[in-house]
Protein backbone atom coordinates (compact mmCIF):
# COMPACT_ATOMS: atom_id res chain seq x y z
CA UNK A 1 0.00 0.00 0.00
CA UNK A 2 2.81 2.42 0.96
CA UNK A 3 4.76 1.53 -2.20
CA UNK A 4 1.62 2.06 -4.26
CA UNK A 5 1.08 5.52 -2.73
CA UNK A 6 4.73 6.40 -3.36
CA UNK A 7 4.38 5.39 -7.01
CA UNK A 8 1.20 7.46 -7.38
CA UNK A 9 2.77 10.62 -5.93
CA UNK A 10 5.91 10.05 -7.99
CA UNK A 11 3.71 9.87 -11.08
CA UNK A 12 1.95 13.13 -10.18
CA UNK A 13 5.28 14.81 -9.51
CA UNK A 14 6.69 13.67 -12.83
CA UNK A 15 3.66 15.00 -14.72
CA UNK A 16 3.94 18.39 -12.99
CA UNK A 17 7.68 18.51 -13.74
CA UNK A 18 6.97 17.73 -17.41
CA UNK A 19 4.43 20.59 -17.64
CA UNK A 20 6.97 22.98 -16.11
CA UNK A 21 9.55 22.04 -18.73
CA UNK A 22 7.18 22.17 -21.72
CA UNK A 23 3.38 21.90 -22.18
CA UNK A 24 3.81 19.24 -24.90
CA UNK A 25 5.90 17.07 -22.61
CA UNK A 26 3.35 17.59 -19.86
CA UNK A 27 0.58 16.39 -22.18
CA UNK A 28 2.61 13.31 -23.09
CA UNK A 29 3.32 12.57 -19.42
CA UNK A 30 -0.35 13.06 -18.53
CA UNK A 31 -1.42 10.67 -21.31
CA UNK A 32 1.10 8.06 -20.20
CA UNK A 33 0.09 8.47 -16.56
CA UNK A 34 -3.58 8.00 -17.43
CA UNK A 35 -2.63 4.83 -19.27
CA UNK A 36 -0.87 3.49 -16.20
CA UNK A 37 -3.95 4.05 -14.05
CA UNK A 38 -6.48 2.81 -16.61
CA UNK A 39 -4.51 -0.38 -17.34
CA UNK A 40 -4.28 -1.11 -13.60
CA UNK A 41 -0.62 -2.02 -13.73
CA UNK A 42 1.32 -3.49 -10.84
CA UNK A 43 3.85 -1.42 -8.88
CA UNK A 44 6.68 -2.87 -10.95
CA UNK A 45 4.90 -1.88 -14.16
CA UNK A 46 4.32 1.63 -12.81
CA UNK A 47 8.01 2.00 -11.95
CA UNK A 48 8.90 0.84 -15.45
CA UNK A 49 6.39 3.25 -16.94
CA UNK A 50 7.81 6.11 -14.91
CA UNK A 51 11.29 5.25 -16.15
CA UNK A 52 10.13 5.28 -19.77
CA UNK A 53 8.31 8.54 -19.21
CA UNK A 54 11.42 10.14 -17.65
CA UNK A 55 13.57 8.89 -20.53
CA UNK A 56 11.13 10.40 -23.04
CA UNK A 57 11.14 13.76 -21.27
CA UNK A 58 14.95 13.73 -21.13
CA UNK A 59 14.99 12.93 -24.86
CA UNK A 60 12.84 15.97 -25.63
CA UNK A 61 15.17 18.12 -23.54
CA UNK A 62 18.16 16.99 -25.60
CA UNK A 63 16.47 17.15 -29.02
CA UNK A 64 12.91 16.76 -30.23
CA UNK A 65 13.91 13.93 -32.62
CA UNK A 66 15.42 11.96 -29.74
CA UNK A 67 12.26 12.64 -27.75
CA UNK A 68 10.07 11.30 -30.55
CA UNK A 69 12.24 8.17 -30.81
CA UNK A 70 11.94 7.55 -27.06
CA UNK A 71 8.20 8.23 -27.22
CA UNK A 72 7.62 5.71 -30.02
CA UNK A 73 9.82 3.16 -28.27
CA UNK A 74 7.95 3.66 -24.99
CA UNK A 75 4.55 3.11 -26.57
CA UNK A 76 5.87 0.01 -28.32
CA UNK A 77 7.16 -1.45 -25.03
CA UNK A 78 3.93 -0.56 -23.24
CA UNK A 79 1.90 -2.19 -26.03
CA UNK A 80 3.92 -5.41 -25.85
CA UNK A 81 3.53 -5.52 -22.07
CA UNK A 82 -0.21 -4.94 -22.30
CA UNK A 83 -0.55 -7.73 -24.87
CA UNK A 84 1.28 -10.13 -22.57
CA UNK A 85 -0.99 -9.13 -19.69
CA UNK A 86 -4.13 -9.72 -21.76
CA UNK A 87 -2.84 -13.13 -22.86
CA UNK A 88 -2.20 -14.11 -19.24
CA UNK A 89 -5.70 -12.99 -18.20
CA UNK A 90 -7.25 -14.92 -21.10
CA UNK A 91 -5.28 -18.01 -20.07
CA UNK A 92 -6.47 -17.73 -16.46
CA UNK A 93 -10.08 -17.31 -17.60
CA UNK A 94 -9.81 -20.36 -19.87
CA UNK A 95 -8.57 -22.46 -16.94
CA UNK A 96 -11.40 -21.18 -14.74
CA UNK A 97 -13.99 -22.00 -17.43
CA UNK A 98 -12.55 -25.51 -17.80
CA UNK A 99 -12.84 -26.19 -14.09
CA UNK A 100 -16.32 -24.70 -13.69
CA UNK A 101 -18.01 -25.71 -16.94
CA UNK A 102 -16.48 -29.15 -17.44
CA UNK A 103 -15.92 -30.09 -13.77
CA UNK A 104 -12.28 -30.66 -14.65
CA UNK A 105 -10.03 -31.23 -11.63
CA UNK A 106 -6.52 -30.23 -12.63
CA UNK A 107 -3.88 -32.53 -11.17
CA UNK A 108 -1.12 -31.44 -13.58
CA UNK A 109 -0.83 -28.16 -15.49
CA UNK A 110 1.78 -27.13 -18.05
CA UNK A 111 1.87 -23.58 -19.38
CA UNK A 112 3.03 -23.17 -22.97
CA UNK A 113 3.72 -20.20 -25.19
CA UNK A 114 1.27 -17.28 -25.13
CA UNK A 115 -2.21 -18.63 -24.21
CA UNK A 116 -1.44 -22.35 -24.44
CA UNK A 117 -2.16 -24.63 -21.48
CA UNK A 118 -2.10 -28.42 -21.22
CA UNK A 119 -4.06 -29.66 -18.21
CA UNK A 120 -4.47 -33.21 -16.95
CA UNK A 121 -7.24 -34.62 -14.74
CA UNK A 122 -5.56 -37.77 -13.50
CA UNK A 123 -8.60 -39.13 -11.62
CA UNK A 124 -10.92 -38.72 -14.62
CA UNK A 125 -8.12 -39.81 -16.99
CA UNK A 126 -8.61 -36.81 -19.26
CA UNK A 127 -6.37 -34.28 -20.95
CA UNK A 128 -7.37 -30.74 -21.93
CA UNK A 129 -5.64 -28.45 -24.39
CA UNK A 130 -6.46 -24.76 -24.05
CA UNK A 131 -5.45 -21.89 -26.30
CA UNK A 132 -7.28 -18.97 -24.75
CA UNK A 133 -10.98 -18.87 -23.99
CA UNK A 134 -11.99 -19.52 -27.60
CA UNK A 135 -10.21 -22.85 -28.16
CA UNK A 136 -10.62 -25.90 -25.94
CA UNK A 137 -10.14 -29.59 -26.65
CA UNK A 138 -10.70 -32.39 -24.13
CA UNK A 139 -9.84 -36.06 -24.70
CA UNK A 140 -9.67 -39.23 -22.63
CA UNK A 141 -6.02 -40.12 -22.07
CA UNK A 142 -6.61 -43.47 -23.78
CA UNK A 143 -7.33 -41.52 -26.99
CA UNK A 144 -3.70 -40.38 -27.17
CA UNK A 145 -2.14 -42.35 -30.03
CA UNK A 146 1.35 -40.91 -30.09
CA UNK A 147 3.54 -38.24 -28.50
CA UNK A 148 6.46 -36.59 -30.26
CA UNK A 149 8.93 -34.15 -28.79
CA UNK A 150 10.42 -31.84 -31.39
CA UNK A 151 13.09 -29.18 -31.64
CA UNK A 152 12.84 -26.64 -34.46
CA UNK A 153 10.12 -28.86 -35.99
CA UNK A 154 12.59 -31.74 -36.33
CA UNK A 155 11.80 -35.05 -34.68
CA UNK A 156 13.65 -35.61 -31.43
CA UNK A 157 11.51 -38.33 -29.82
CA UNK A 158 8.78 -40.45 -31.39
CA UNK A 159 7.17 -42.98 -29.08
CA UNK A 160 5.51 -45.12 -31.75
CA UNK A 161 8.89 -46.16 -33.21
CA UNK A 162 9.94 -47.77 -29.97
CA UNK A 163 13.29 -45.96 -30.13
CA UNK A 164 14.61 -45.15 -26.68
CA UNK A 165 16.80 -42.06 -26.68
CA UNK A 166 18.54 -41.24 -23.42
CA UNK A 167 18.09 -37.93 -21.69
CA UNK A 168 21.81 -37.30 -21.91
CA UNK A 169 21.78 -37.56 -25.70
CA UNK A 170 18.68 -35.39 -25.95
CA UNK A 171 20.24 -32.94 -23.56
CA UNK A 172 23.16 -32.71 -25.96
CA UNK A 173 20.72 -31.86 -28.72
CA UNK A 174 19.55 -28.85 -26.75
CA UNK A 175 22.57 -27.87 -24.68
CA UNK A 176 25.46 -30.01 -25.83
CA UNK A 177 28.32 -29.50 -28.20
CA UNK A 178 28.53 -29.59 -31.96
CA UNK A 179 27.98 -33.07 -33.40
CA UNK A 180 25.52 -34.18 -30.70
CA UNK A 181 23.15 -36.98 -31.67
CA UNK A 182 19.57 -35.74 -31.93
CA UNK A 183 17.55 -38.88 -32.63
CA UNK A 184 16.50 -41.42 -35.18
CA UNK A 185 18.88 -44.28 -35.86
CA UNK A 186 21.91 -42.68 -34.23
CA UNK A 187 22.54 -40.37 -37.17
CA UNK A 188 24.90 -37.53 -36.28
CA UNK A 189 23.98 -33.97 -37.05
CA UNK A 190 25.69 -30.70 -36.34
CA UNK A 191 23.44 -28.95 -33.86
CA UNK A 192 22.63 -25.33 -34.61
CA UNK A 193 23.79 -22.85 -32.02
CA UNK A 194 20.34 -21.30 -31.65
CA UNK A 195 17.03 -22.94 -30.82
CA UNK A 196 13.82 -21.53 -32.27
CA UNK A 197 11.14 -23.94 -31.09
CA UNK A 198 10.57 -26.77 -28.60
CA UNK A 199 7.21 -28.49 -28.96
CA UNK A 200 5.20 -31.58 -28.14
CA UNK A 201 3.12 -33.05 -30.96
CA UNK A 202 0.31 -35.09 -29.43
CA UNK A 203 -1.62 -37.28 -31.85
CA UNK A 204 -5.16 -38.05 -30.68
CA UNK A 205 -7.98 -40.23 -32.01
CA UNK A 206 -9.80 -37.33 -33.68
CA UNK A 207 -10.26 -37.22 -37.45
CA UNK A 208 -11.14 -33.50 -37.38
CA UNK A 209 -8.11 -32.31 -35.43
CA UNK A 210 -5.73 -35.25 -35.00
CA UNK A 211 -2.71 -33.29 -33.77
CA UNK A 212 -2.18 -30.99 -30.81
CA UNK A 213 0.96 -28.86 -31.21
CA UNK A 214 1.93 -27.63 -27.76
CA UNK A 215 4.76 -25.08 -27.83
CA UNK A 216 6.88 -24.83 -24.71
CA UNK A 217 9.35 -22.40 -26.26
CA UNK A 218 9.44 -20.13 -29.31
CA UNK A 219 12.19 -17.63 -29.94
CA UNK A 220 15.79 -17.55 -31.08
CA UNK A 221 18.15 -18.10 -28.15
CA UNK A 222 21.33 -20.07 -27.66
CA UNK A 223 20.85 -23.74 -26.80
CA UNK A 224 22.76 -22.99 -23.57
CA UNK A 225 20.29 -20.31 -22.48
CA UNK A 226 18.42 -21.09 -19.26
CA UNK A 227 15.04 -20.47 -20.95
CA UNK A 228 15.80 -23.07 -23.61
CA UNK A 229 17.08 -25.61 -21.10
CA UNK A 230 14.08 -24.99 -18.86
CA UNK A 231 11.65 -25.50 -21.76
CA UNK A 232 13.42 -28.72 -22.72
CA UNK A 233 13.18 -30.06 -19.17
CA UNK A 234 9.49 -29.18 -19.02
CA UNK A 235 8.88 -30.84 -22.41
CA UNK A 236 10.68 -33.98 -21.29
CA UNK A 237 8.68 -34.07 -18.04
CA UNK A 238 5.37 -33.70 -19.88
CA UNK A 239 6.40 -36.27 -22.49
CA UNK A 240 7.26 -38.86 -19.82
CA UNK A 241 4.08 -38.11 -17.86
CA UNK A 242 1.84 -38.61 -20.91
CA UNK A 243 3.46 -41.92 -21.72
CA UNK A 244 3.00 -43.14 -18.13
CA UNK A 245 -0.63 -42.05 -18.01
CA UNK A 246 -1.35 -43.59 -21.39
CA UNK A 247 0.16 -46.86 -20.21
CA UNK A 248 -1.98 -46.79 -17.06
CA UNK A 249 -5.26 -45.92 -18.79
Q: Among 182-186, 209-213, 238-242, where is mean pLDDT lowest? A: 182-186
Mean pLDDT of the chain: 76
The mean per-residue pLDDT over the stretch 65-75 comes to 77
Q: What's residue 38's pLDDT?
A: 58
Q: 9 versus 19: which is more confidently predicted?
A: 19
- The confidence band for 159, taking pLDDT boundaries of 50, 70 and 90, is low
Q: What's residue 17's pLDDT?
A: 76
Q: What's residue 59's pLDDT?
A: 77
Q: What's residue 80's pLDDT?
A: 67
The mean per-residue pLDDT over the stretch 189-214 comes to 85
The predicted-structure confidence for 12-31, as pLDDT tens digits, reads as follows 777 787 777 767 667 766 76
Closest to 42 (Cα-Cα) out of 93, 82, 80:
82
**pLDDT surpassing 90 at residue 86:** no
**pLDDT surpassing 70 at residue 58:** yes
For a pLDDT cut of 90, what percent of the chain falls above it?
A: 32
Q: What's residue 88's pLDDT?
A: 82
For a pLDDT cut of 70, what percent of the chain falls above it?
A: 67
Predicted model pTM: 0.64
**pLDDT surpassing 50 at residue 244:** yes
Amino acid sequence: MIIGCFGFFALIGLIIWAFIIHPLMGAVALLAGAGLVIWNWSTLNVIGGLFLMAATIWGFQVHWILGVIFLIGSFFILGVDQTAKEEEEDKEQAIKNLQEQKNFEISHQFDGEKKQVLAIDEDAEKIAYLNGTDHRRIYPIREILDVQMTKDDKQVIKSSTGISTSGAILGGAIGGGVGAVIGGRRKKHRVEDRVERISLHIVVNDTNEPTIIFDLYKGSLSRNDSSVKGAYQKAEQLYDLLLVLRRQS
